[in-house]
Structure 1
Amino acid sequence: MTQSFMRYGVLFSFALLTACSGGSDGEGGPVADPDALSGIISIESGSRIDSDTADDFRLGVARTNDRAAEAQPLPDTGIVAGYLSQQQGSYPANDGQTFNFAADAQDFYQVELSEGDLVALQVFPEGAQAPPEVRFGVFQNGNVERCEAGCGGDSFTFTYVVSGVSGPTPHTLAITAEAGGPFRYVLSVAAAGASSSMNVSYEGVDFRPGEAIVMPGTRGQAFSSAGAVAQATSAAEARYLGEGIWHVRQTPVYLARSLSAAERAQAKRQTLDWVRELRSTPGVELAEPNFLYESQQVTPDTNPLYDLQWNHPLISLPTAWLVAPNGGFGTGIAVLDTGLFSADPSLYGQWHPDLEDNVVEPSGRILDYVTGSLDIDPEPDQGRDQNPHDPGNQQSQNSSFHGTHVAGIAVGMDNGIGIIGVAPQATLFPVRVLGVDPETQRNVGSSDDLIAAINWAADQADIHVINLSLGGLGPSDALQNAVTKAFNQNKLVVAAAGNQGTDQLTYPAAFSNVVGVGAVDGAAVRASYSNIGGSVNLVAPGGDANRDANQDGNADLIVSAWGNDSVSPPRPNYAGLQGTSMAAPHVAGVYALMREAAGAGPELTPKGFFTLLSSGSLTDEVGNPTEYGEGLINAIKSVNAVGDGPTSPVMGASPSALQFSRSQTSQDLTLRVYPETESIVIGPITSPGWLTVIQEGGTAPKTLTATVNTGGLTEDNLYRGVVSVEYTSDGEIRTLEVPVSVQLGDESGSRDAGRHYVLLVSTDEERNTLVQQVVEAQNDRYEFSFADVEPGEYFLVAGSDIDNNGFICETGEACAEYPVNGLPEPIVIGDSPLSGVELTTSFRRPTISAMGGLPRIGFEGYRLLKETGPAGEKTVRRVSEDKQ
């Protein structure tokens, strides 16, 4: 999600700067000895910097890489940050200081790529003076991708997976600013199967200020009442969500009125401090923010395209209906979303005509879980109720009926009126968990409402599938508990894999017991926005508005039910949308057809679904696993798989690929069995000569240890291979292959993350920069030394300013914070010198999990103010960061 940040700090006078750099505090106070603080900043392996950044142009040291003949070399696996702009100019003046940017329209790089390698370009145009148009070219066999202005919003991503080559092959990568700018970018090159290679920004998860999710004691048994929980957590009120999980709120003020941007930022900082306190409170086992999430649709098109359901034949759905002629009858699909279009919102009924007869009968069960300011339905108390009608977003045009669209894909009726869903006779449980953010008008929900709804659905015997076309939450333990409960209660949980086009994990899709679904277009090619990597178990039709891959003369949008609330009374409608939100309900509907083919009995369970998925019985192979997971769901294969009886056990590996480095030369490899109740005899294991896999035979599940033999390996080479595990299943000999790679490091002296500005920053809320110096990379590191610094506590940070806008450590720039990026802690300078301090700089950013499960709020870099000295370097006076 996009977040708004504020930049703080006060301008220091030149006299103060002199005082900080000299031997006195200006009032006769003591200072530390000369060389009060010194150390080194290591550069992450594989790091490179564009040779002509705006900072280089400022100093007149830029080395052009504007033509293929001047292409910069990159390591086989690595990361490079750069700068481009079609135009030159100045950033808006700030405190009387002006920063200029240069024109640089094109950068070229040269790299050797192999089959399955991932090349990712992430563009960060925040602060651009004109919207950029970007072209990304990968040249070996003429592949070119292009994104016009505004693609992806604040930032956008191109991904390219190498295919059609044998062995390492030279490729040229070209990045062009065809218009607009300036902007920063990061270009990542990763080996096949690499995880989180594109994690170059802090994960943009949002949460409700003043609220938290907690689990007191052991499974919530430490406190007997809501009042006791509220008292123990310093909260004003507490509400039970099920399975030992409670929602606590400090004060209702955050719901009673809207907050300004500054108030909201302050409230969020206070909330994170409160959550940290809760984690150390006796009797509290779990504490986390009340995360917000969004629907996973992009670019709606409200034209009535319901007669263009290309998605059905793409997954062989018409043939599957012959095998499952009752259309999934007997299966309950809970669509946890925005609710359902109704022509009369005051009633339980008058639903969209393509869904009317499939909606579960009213029974007094709570189906609307949206609470607080996100709840804009007519009920007066902004609380939970029995009517899941979708009120739209109360806009005269383009109201969102996301849940109606998703439900239509899964269970749209075969009534001759409009569209038809995958399982047209399944029972629909429309559960409202997404409301409307009053500020952005986007479909947003909170984790307390979602957790309560999932716990409820897990207990309903007539619900068999839970569809979650939503995402953007942090790695919530409380949500994981709810999902695990549903899975253990034999509910298949299906979730959208996310629309960011990256390999960063998206929750809930990334949970191990959730089916994460990516999106493809009309030619079964991954949609440009669809996430890749660990959030994707398989893919399904999700559409791509920029393509007409099936050449039917229309954009590849998924057509389904919609609503029109610009008239009174509201009217049913149809719309074409794209997104992983649209892909997920295809899988939910296919599972309903599978249950029909299996007799809707105990023969098919969520565990059984994962077993069939891992064996390849449910999908068509359409591309590499990084982009497509197990492949494209095939409806006829899926219903035939359960109709043919039990499937032979299969073996899988976790992780699915092994990557080694200088710092990690040994890893565990767990061999898993599907279904989990079976065991498999392990046969011979073969591996590259530089890898030893300790194997004692026996049966799987089993954990093995793989260790790199570093002797004979050179640091600047990338070595690849495969670990092959032979096993016997039902008398048939099979082979499991696990890709493996190792790169011990770069060629000595080749690492460079750009010119670094090293800062000592005050630890108060203003975070003013008090001392600064500039260092260049030498021998794969930076060396720094501060002399005559006043004793006290400081934050020690460093980073690059490649776009010369006066800020370091922005997304796309290198950053080092002491002791760990993302978790800065004060460093104490006393009367004696402090030497040997070590930091690591990187273009990558830590995940929320690495930061203890708490997001970083309000950080957008450390601010520099330019003052040209004798060496033409920047002099830093202050810093920008919301207090952590």
Structure 2
Amino acid sequence: MSRRPLVLTALAAAALVVGAVAPAANASPTEPSTPVPISAPDGTIMSYVLNAKAANPGQVRLVERAVAAAGGVVVQSWPEIGVVVAHSQRAAFRADVVAAGGNALASVGATRTVPVTEGTPAGALAPWGPGSSGWKADAKKKFNGDIEASTTPADSLDAREGDQWDMRMINADKAHQITDGSSNVLVGILDSGIDPVHPDLVANIDVADSVNCTDAGRPDTSASGWYPTTSDHGTHVAGTIAAARNGVGIVGVAPGVRIASVKVVNDDGFIYPEYAICGFVWAGLKHMDVTNNSYYVDPFEYWCDDQIDQAAAKEAVRRAVEWSTTQGVANVAAAGNSAVDLANKTVDKGSPDDGTPVVRTINAGCEDLPAELPGVVTVSSVTSTGALSSFSNRGLGKIDVAAPGSSILSTIVRNHGYGLKSGTSMASPHVTGVLALMKSVHPTWTPMQLMDKLAEQAMPHACSIASGPVCTGTPDDNSYYGNGIVDALAAVQ
């Protein structure tokens, strides 16, 4: 989704910072990225991630003490990955915590360019701030422009499997003749929440393993914390993955598996690093089998290694993804809806998206999170004809597989009904569902075995578009389709 719940964005029209210099059109992927300083004046509560040099309780405790010594408050500690989330209202916090952290601290960085609004733990320096009252129009960009084309109340429908061209394209209908998937398989949907009473979803939701991570990056397990509030993006994604076979509505790719709502999108549509970190660690702690990530981490569309704040946050998210994989989780991510070649990107026009965007030069060390992280299955979107969707990102060596993402019918919150959305956000859940089916028939396979077999079994698709962006590579591995369009039938045979 990205904040992207990956649907189409309006960021390209955003105003530029006064005095900002636009990068040259022929910028090199190796030149330094444009700095984006994050101002944190005294009295303004900001959020930070701190990476310990080692992922163990002792090192984390030293970092926690450094936070207190520098005038900050620990919000959440994750000793599993050596990451601490902290708030501070001191302008000198970053410098002071580095000095206090000594040999225990590897890096520290601000996670956003605006003050914290969701509050700080008891004993902090400021009272709880007001919650956001609504979903900003701009927030839709976070879901990469998912476009809702129609809605239909559930009680007016008979089964609509016949309308699901996407399932036929990936052979899910044929796979269902063998299996609908196992209830032993648990899929984490890191998104905006799932409609808890939708007739096509309620039977498959694992309430006990659902969580809300938007409380400043702390896991909130309250009864309704993981419910959707301002977006139905997560509900649409959930339907594609696991809408039940129950005689009404639609049928998901893996209608027999369980799904957990891992809410990482706040009411303004943002997915900050600490939210994503919480989501991935939660998935690992609960030993989920697959996660779907239809978003990019805010506020930067691309997080750069040569920028101190961005590098620290990027490292924290990377650690969370890597650790979840060691716990048996296969992670799937949408490639993004900016129609960009991820292997040759040099300009970012929409970051930071929580403040005033700057047109900035980026380089090969600037990456979309989590789509470009190691060990993540990155998915591009195709239309009903098999053509690359006009909005989809691409990139040789960046795209692993492709799946349907244009005009996808699935579940929505309104009237507990159904609607059409388009985006790479809609493509990745097809892949997540295929992996869930594969895990159902191969329960002992590791994430790497699942991902290797997914690529091996994908249906090769040659570059077939005569005009438009250049497609590079071979039919078996190219910049549009990666190893090909996923095949649910092959996954269960």
The TM-score with structure 2 as length reference comes to 0.70
Point out the structure with the larger strand share. 1
The equivalent residue for 2:359 is none
Count of residues in Structure 1 that have an aligned counterpart in Structure 2: 387
SS in 1 for 2:261: strand
The equivalent residue for 1:95 is none
Q: Where in structure 2 are the equivalents of 1:197-596 lying within 5 Å?
A: 210-220=46-56, 221-222=58-59, 224=61, 228-243=65-80, 244-251=82-89, 274-275=93-94, 278-279=97-98, 281-282=101-102, 283-291=104-112, 294-304=142-152, 308-323=163-178, 325-342=179-196, 351-360=197-206, 362-363=207-208, 367-372=211-216, 385-393=222-230, 400-437=231-268, 443-461=269-287, 463-473=288-298, 474=303, 476-502=314-340, 503=342, 504=345, 505-533=367-395, 534-543=397-406, 557-564=407-414, 571-596=415-440
The equivalent residue for 1:609 is 450
Matching residue's letter, 2:369: Y
Matching residue's letter, 2:426: M
1:278/1:185 CA distance change after superposition, 3 Å: closer
Matching residue's letter, 2:192: T
Matching residue's letter, 1:632: I
SS in 1 for 2:413: strand
Matching residue's letter, 1:445: I
SS in 2 for 1:627: coil
Matching residue's letter, 2:434: V
Q: CA deviation at 1:229?
A: 4.2
Matching residue's letter, 1:454: F
Point out the structure with the larger helix share. 2
Matching residue's letter, 1:541: P
Q: CA deviation at 1:329?
A: 3.7
Once the two structures are superposed, what CA deviation does each residue of 1:569-627 show, in whole Å capped at 9, x if it has no partner? xx3121111111111111111011112333x2x1x22111232245x323332434122
Once the two structures are superposed, what CA deviation does each residue of 1:359-409 show, in whole Å capped at 9, x if it has no partner? 11x44x56122115x99xxxxxx965343443432xxxxxx2111111101
Aligned equivalents of 2:384 and 2:72: distance in 1?
Answer: 51
The equivalent residue for 2:122 is none
SS in 1 for 2:480: helix
Aligned equivalents of 2:146 and 2:490: distance in 1?
Answer: 30
Once the two structures are superposed, what CA deviation does each residue of 1:522-577 show, in whole Å capped at 9, x if it has no partner? 1111111111125421111111xxxxxxxxxxxxx11111012xxxxxx3121111
Q: 2:10 aligns with which of 153, 165, 175?
A: 153
Matching residue's letter, 1:514: V
Aligned equivalents of 2:490 and 2:29: distance in 1?
Answer: 32
Matching residue's letter, 1:287: V
1:486/1:522 CA distance change after superposition, 3 Å: same
The equivalent residue for 2:460 is 620
The equivalent residue for 2:306 is none
Matching residue's letter, 1:387: S
1:241/1:205 CA distance change after superposition, 3 Å: farther
Q: 2:483 aligns with which of 612, 626, 630?
A: 630
Structure 2: any 5+ residue segments left out of the alignment? Answer: 3-7, 14-21, 114-138, 304-310, 346-366, 464-472
The answer on whether the counterparts of 2:232 and 2:412 sit within 8 Å (CA) in structure 1 is yes
1:622/1:216 CA distance change after superposition, 3 Å: same
Q: Where in structure 2 are the equivalents of 1:666-677 lying within 5 Å?
A: none
Once the two structures are superposed, what CA deviation does each residue of 1:49-76 show, in whole Å capped at 9, x if it has no partner? xxxxxxxxxxxxxxxxxxxxxxxxxxxx
Identity %: 24
Structure 1: any 5+ residue segments left out of the alignment? Answer: 3-150, 157-183, 190-194, 252-266, 343-350, 376-381, 394-399, 438-442, 544-556, 565-570, 641-884
Once the two structures are superposed, what CA deviation does each residue of 1:451-478 show, in whole Å capped at 9, x if it has no partner? 12211210224x2111111114536111
Q: CA deviation at 1:236?
A: 3.3
Once the two structures are superposed, what CA deviation does each residue of 1:164-223 show, in whole Å capped at 9, x if it has no partner? xxxxxxxxxxxxxxxxxxxx998779xxxxx959x9995999999611101235325235
SS in 2 for 1:240: strand
The answer on whether the counterparts of 1:542 and 1:583 sit within 8 Å (CA) in structure 2 is yes
Q: CA deviation at 1:490?
A: 1.6
The answer on whether the counterparts of 2:290 and 2:432 sit within 8 Å (CA) in structure 1 is yes
Aligned equivalents of 1:596 and 1:366: distance in 2?
Answer: 21
Structure number with greater Rg is: 1
SS in 1 for 2:255: coil
Once the two structures are superposed, what CA deviation does each residue of 1:420-444 show, in whole Å capped at 9, x if it has no partner? 100001001111111112xxxxx21
Greater relative contact order: 1 or 2 (C-alpha under 8 angstroms, separation 6 or more)?
2
1:352/1:612 CA distance change after superposition, 3 Å: same
SS in 1 for 2:492: helix
Aligned equivalents of 2:488 and 2:240: distance in 1?
Answer: 14
SS in 2 for 1:213: strand
Matching residue's letter, 1:606: P
1:188/1:318 CA distance change after superposition, 3 Å: farther
Aligned equivalents of 1:333 and 1:558: distance in 2?
Answer: 20
Aligned equivalents of 2:39 and 2:192: distance in 1?
Answer: 19
Matching residue's letter, 2:400: N
Aligned equivalents of 2:60 and 2:438: distance in 1?
Answer: 43
The equivalent residue for 1:878 is none
1:291/1:246 CA distance change after superposition, 3 Å: same
The answer on whether the counterparts of 1:207 and 1:291 sit within 8 Å (CA) in structure 2 is no
